[in-house]
Amino acid sequence: MQYRTLGRTGVQVSSLVLGAMNFGAIGRTTQDEATAIVDAALEAGINLIDTADRYSGGESEEMVGKAIAGRRDDIVLATKANMPMDDERNHRGSSRRWLVTALDDSLRRLGVDHVDLYQIHRWDPATGDEETLSALTDLQRAGKIRYFGSSTFPAYRIVQAQWAARDHHLSRYVTEQPSYSILQRGAETHVLPVTEQYGLGVLVWSPLASGWLSGAVREGREIATHRSAVLPERFDTSVPSNRARLDAVEQLAKVADEAGLTLIQLALGFVTAHPAVTSAIIGPRTPDHLRSQLAAADTVLSADVLDAVDSIVAPGVDLAAHEKFDTPPALLDPSLRRR
């Protein structure tokens, strides 16, 4: 396992992060399976676990808490808040009112008195940076969080938050968690240059592109991933963007074979090769999934292999741009771009 410094915090974290989104109802992963996955991950050298209050309505946090009981001090523990937890309109967002409550709820579910990294799951257009950063700074000073970060923020919002922290003498976001994979390289255009500029740690999610790069999606083979059952439209190969992804996967599989790698090793080795990336978040549903992903823990891709990847999917290109989660609201809602 490789280890990197998380931004400028001085904290050493593994190049692979155990993501717990699939623990519970979302991935149908039981407590015994979750504990076995955590055990195997820690044994392999993973020391950062990432979850969120939103995952299975808090069930993921509860399962992580039970799985790490008795060994909390050996783990860099991260969770997130901001996404809706129920139909109540104020049980979401990045206001002080909600974040204080949401963190206490997360600590209770996790069975801990603090988290190492508390992340804002999405940018909240309704809440000012000063409001959110002041609340997070107070929670940090209270000892309930050690650091805080952002997740899937557009590049300009990352910059704005850094300026707000400076202008109002508040603590700043020290990490960003963007979506990044061989098939979705848009983060290279704006987000990753900004995180490098400000010295943020980067924990990338969906490095296997929701299963497209797991090896389970191939030409002439029935697509039967967990994601394809939940979001079939993302795997319908009659859709042009999905056809483009499948064509790219076939070419990437040949590159992996010639390099003596699995497609998973190629995919994870690619994202962790970027100098702006600290770690890649993997989200196994079963111990077998974890083992296949751990095989990439020490993968280092040669320049020839990285060049071959660039020739298949060009730097900065998203093959499914419509699936991005950091699109400015005005591009999605016509009322926000018209007087």
- Residues 171, 77: Cα–Cα separation, whole Å: 19
What tens digit of pLDDT does each residue of 199-223 get?
A: 999 999 999 999 999 988 887 677 6
Write down the catalytic residue from 55, 118, 173, 180. Answer: 55
Residue 229 has pLDDT above 60, yes or no: no
- Residues 283, 227: Cα–Cα separation, whole Å: 12
- Residues 55, 149: Cα–Cα separation, whole Å: 18
Per the model's pLDDT, the better-predicted residue between 196 and 227 turns out to be: 196
Rounded to 10°, the helix 59-68/31-44 angle is 50
How far separated are the first and last CA of the chain, in Å rounded? 54
Cβ-contact 267, 216 below 8 angstroms? no
pLDDT of residue 227: 56
Cα of 21 vs its chain's centroid, Å: 10
What's the token pair of residue 19? 């993501």
pLDDT of residue 230: 58
Rounded to 10°, the helix 191-198/155-167 angle is 20
Torsion angle defined by CA atoms of residues 47, 53, 57 and 61, in that order, rounded to the nearest 10 degrees: 30
Amino acid at 213: L
- Residues 245, 13: Cα–Cα separation, whole Å: 31
- Residues 241, 231: Cα–Cα separation, whole Å: 15
Give the DSSP letter of residue 276. Answer: T
Structural domains of the chain, with CATH: 3-210+272-299 (3.20.20.100)
What tens digit of pLDDT does each residue of 83-101 get?
A: 999 999 999 999 999 999 9
- The CA–CA distances, whole Å, from 315 to 15, 30, 254, 263, 271 equal 22, 39, 19, 19, 12
Rounded to 10°, the helix 287-294/263-273 angle is 60
- In the chain, what's the furthest Cα-to-Cα distance? 58
pLDDT of residue 205: 97
pLDDT of residue 323: 84
Residue 228 has pLDDT above 60, yes or no: no
pLDDT of residue 93: 97
Q: pTM to 2 decimals?
A: 0.93
Per the model's pLDDT, the better-predicted residue between 331 and 71 turns out to be: 71
Mean pLDDT of the chain: 94
Total residues belonging to the chain: 339
pLDDT of residue 216: 86
Beta-carbon contacts of 329 under 8 Å, excluding residues fewer than 6 positions away, are 125, 336
Catalytic residue flag (residue 55): yes
Segment 61-68 shows an average pLDDT of: 98
Cβ-contact 117, 147 below 8 angstroms? yes
pLDDT of residue 255: 98
Segment 18-42 shows an average pLDDT of: 96
- Residues 142, 168: Cα–Cα separation, whole Å: 19
Residue 103 has pLDDT above 60, yes or no: yes
Residue 120 has pLDDT above 90, yes or no: yes
What tens digit of pLDDT does each residue of 294-325 get?
A: 999 999 999 999 999 999 999 999 998 888 78
pLDDT of residue 224: 63
Nearest to 262 by CA among 305, 205, 229: 305
How sure is the predictor about 339, in pLDDT bands with cuts at 50, 70 and 90?
confident
At 159, which helix (H) or strand (E)?
A: helix 155-167
